[in-house]
Amino acid sequence: MPPTKPRTVVVNDRMQKNYRYRLVAPMGEAFAADFRPELTPVEMLALGVFGGKYMTDCGREFPPDWFAGAKLSPKRKDPSLNYFGVDASQPLKVWRAKGWIHPDDPRGWFQWYCRYYLGRRMEDDARQIRRWKQIARHAAQLRAHCEPCDFSCRPRQRQALLHWAYDSRRL
């Protein structure tokens, strides 16, 4: 496949004004060899993640088809929209306090993943991929403590895995 011509994205939403980044890889391709998410951002949004509140002001940054089947809640977080119907998120202030937020992605890991999926590459990629790999321990805990596909077993842990692009419906 021929190289993608870099394109600049300009972001103006509630959390970023005139933030710019370049897309240097084809959308959904050229991922790091050790980064193999099981769900795309489109699939995650359609399944229901983050109580539907995460991406309500980002429609101009991402392709419109990402939002066609998304479960969104423009006013406030609604955990009933999540696939497992539970709240599995920590407040953003907790993420900030723990130093997990990179200034280029003030909403956190999922924002980084959406932009990475679009084709942005940056110095923070390796750290975010390490964090993604560390979440796999939750899948191991589900396998150890739950019957396969028993969605009543550890629903918060299952929902948290969905937030990190692991398809916990298969566990």
Residue 2 pLDDT > 80, yes or no?
Answer: no
Q: pLDDT for 97-117, tens place per residue?
A: 988 899 999 999 999 999 999
Quick check: 3 pLDDT over 60? no
Residue with tokens 């496949």: 1
Is the Cα torsion angle 163, 164, 169, 171 positive or negative in sign? negative
**Number of other residues whose CB lies within 10 A of the CB of residue 157:** 19
**93 phi, psi to nearest 5 deg:** -60, -30
Q: Where do the H-state alpha helices sit in the chain?
A: 41-47, 65-68, 92-97, 109-118, 125-134, 136-145, 155-163
**pLDDT digits 0-9 by tens, 54-106:** 888 888 999 999 999 999 998 899 999 999 999 998 888 888 898 889 999 99
Q: What is the pTM of this model?
A: 0.93
Q: With the C-alpha atoms ordered 61, 100, 30, 162, is the resulting torsion angle positive or negative?
A: negative
Angle among Cα 159, 163, 168 to the nearest 5 degrees reads 50
